[in-house]
Amino acid sequence: DIQMTQSPSTLSASVGDRITITCRASQSITDWLAWYQQKPGKAPKLLIYKASGLEGGVPSRFSGSGSGTEFTLTISSLQPDDFATYYCQQYSTYLLTFGGGTKVEIK
């Protein structure tokens, strides 16, 4: 299995802050990585695919980067609607695996 490790597990930030979440893979996944946002009681929502592709309808303040084993999700200016939990997911192998999640809280 490819293990996905996210850091930090919790991030406290204020509206307007620039934040970065890191996701590391236990082996190279080239750029087969997606990012999701999940709010309490709701299904995850796709934000980023293939490491840096912005899903349609997702605000441009979200961006993804990285390749191989290290990836980042950046929110350039945090908005009230962005307080949520974020997950990365690799799809390099048929055994799809998710990171443990990063909860973005209001500081």
Under the binding rule (CB under 8 A), the answer on residue 14 touching other proteins is no
Rounded Cα distance between 16 and 5, Å, is 26
Q: Which stretch binds other proteins (CB under 8 A): 19-27, 64-72, 74-82, 91-99?
A: 91-99
Number of residues that bind other proteins (CB under 8 A): 25
Report yes or no: 51 and 22 within 8 Å, Cβ to Cβ.
no
Under the binding rule (CB under 8 A), the answer on residue 91 touching other proteins is yes
Rounded Cα distance between 70 and 23, Å, is 6
Binding mask 27-66 for other proteins (x = CB under 8 A): -----x-x-x-----xxxxx--xx----x-----------
Contacts of 12 (CB under 8 A, 6+ apart): 105, 106, 107
Q: Which residue has the tokens 């990063």?
A: 102
For other proteins, the binding residues (CB under 8 A) are: 1, 32, 34, 36, 42-46, 49-50, 55, 87, 89, 91-101
